[in-house]
Structure 1
Amino acid sequence: MKICILYQHYLRPGDAGHNRFNDYARIWSGLGHKVSVITGQASYMTGIKAPQYHGRFCVREVDGPVDVYRMYVPDQANESFLRRGASYLAFALSSAWGYRGLDRPSVLLCSSPPLFAGLGMLLIRRFSRVPIVFEVRDLWPESAVATGVIRNRSMIRLMYALERRCYAAAQRVNVLTDAFREDILARGLADPAKVCFVPNGVDTEQQRPELRSERLREELGWAGRFVVLYSGAHGVANRVGQLLDAAELLRDRSEILIATVGSGMDLEPLRREADRRGLTNVRLHGPRPREQMPAITASADACAAVLQRNDTFRTVYPNKVFDAMACGRPIVLGIDGVARDLVERSGAGLFAEPEDPRALADAILRLSDDRSAAEVMGCRGREFVTQNFDRNRLAMRYLDVLQSVARDY
Structure 2
Amino acid sequence: MKILFLTQFFSPETGAASKRVYGLARQLVKLGHEVHVVTGMPNYPTGRIKDEYKKKFFCFEEIDGIKVSRYYVYASNKRSTINRLLNYFSLVLSSLFFLFKRRQIDIIITSSPPLFLGISGVIMSKIKKIPHVFDIRDIWPDVAVEIGEIKENSKIYKMMKKIEKFIYENSDILTVVTNGKRANLIKNGVSPNKIKLISNGFDEEFLEIPINKEIADKYNLIGKFNLLYAGIIGIAQGIDIIIESAEKLKSNNEIQFVLVGNGVELERMKGLVKEKKLNNVIFTGEQPHVNIRSFLYYSSAALVPLKSEALKDSVPTKLYEALGAGKPVILCASGDSVEVVNESNGGLIVKPGDIDSFVESIEKLYKDTELYKACTINSKEYVIKNYSRKSIAKTLEKELELELKKSK
Provide TM-score, normalisation by structure 2: 0.94
1:262-309 Cα distance to aligned partner (Å, 9 max, x none): 110010111111011111111111111111111212221000000112
The residue type equivalent to 1:24 in the other structure is: L
Q: CA offset at residue 149 of structure 1? A: 1.6
What is the Cα deviation at residue 78 of structure 1? Answer: 6.3
1:130 aligns with 2:130: yes
Q: In 2, Cα distance between the equivalents of 1:294 and 1:193?
A: 38
Contact residue 9 and residue 39 of structure 1 kept, 8 A: yes
> Using a 3 Å threshold, how does the CA distance of structure 1 residues 280 and 98 change in structure 2: closer, same or farther?
same
Matching residue's letter, 1:333: L
Q: Which of 327, 330, 334 lines up with 1:329 in the alignment?
A: 327
Which residue is 2:76 aligned to? 76
Aligned pairs for 1:327-366 within 5 A: 327-366=325-364
Q: Structure 1: which amino acid aligns with 2:401?
A: Q
Q: Give 1:237 shift.
A: 1.1
**Counterpart in the other structure of 2:161:** 160
My pick for the range that moved more, 257-266 or 44-53, is: 44-53
Identity rate of aligned residues, in percent? 27
Q: Does 1:284 align with 2:283?
A: yes
CA–CA separation in structure 1 for the residues paired with 2:43 and 2:55:
16
Q: Given the alignment of the two structures, is residue 263 of structure 1 paired with residue 300 of structure 2, yes or no? A: no
Q: Distance in 1 between matches of 2:179 and 2:270?
A: 36
The CA deviation string for residues 8-57 of structure 1, in whole angstroms up to 9 with x for no partner, is 11113xx4334222222222223321111001113333232123433322
Tell me, in whole angstroms, the C-alpha distance in 1 between the residues paired with 2:233 and 2:393: 28
Task: Return the alpha-carbon distance in structure 2 between the equivalents of residues 101 and 78 of structure 1.
Answer: 34
Within a 5 Å distance, the mapping from 1:387-406 to structure 2 comes to 387-406=385-404
**Whole-angstrom CA distance in 1 between matches of 2:194 and 2:122:** 18
| Contact kept in structure 1, 2:43 and 2:49, CA below 8 Å | yes
Q: Note the C-alpha offset of 1:72.
A: 1.0
SS for the counterpart of 1:3 is: strand
Q: How many residues align?
A: 404
Q: Against the structure 1 CA distance between its residues 349 and 56, is the aligned structure 2 distance closer, same or farther, given a 3 Å change threshold?
A: same
Partner residue, 2:302: 303
Alignment of 1:107-256 (within 5 A): 107-151=107-151, 153-188=154-189, 190-207=190-207, 216-256=215-255
Q: Say whether residues 1:367 and 2:368 are aligned partners.
A: no
Mean Cα deviation higher: 69-78 or 170-179? 69-78
- Structure 2 unaligned segments of length 5 or more: list them: none
Counterpart residue type for residue 157 of structure 1: K
Equivalent pair of 1:214/1:299 in contact (CA under 8 Å)? no
State the alpha-carbon separation in 1 of the partners of residues 335 and 210 from structure 2. 30
- In 2, are the aligned partners of 1:11 and 1:17 still within 8 Å (CA)? no
Aligned to 1:275: 274
Q: Establish whether residue 6 from structure 1 lines up as the match of residue 16 from structure 2.
A: no
CA shift digits 1:193-223 (9 cap, x unpaired) = 1111110001123237x96676532322122
The one-letter code sitting in structure 2 at the alignment partner of 1:120 is: S
Superposition misfits of 4+ residues, deviation over 4 angstroms: 210-215
Shift of 1:310: 3.4
Q: What root-mean-square deviation, in Å, do the aligned CA atoms of Structure 1 and Structure 2 show?
A: 1.8
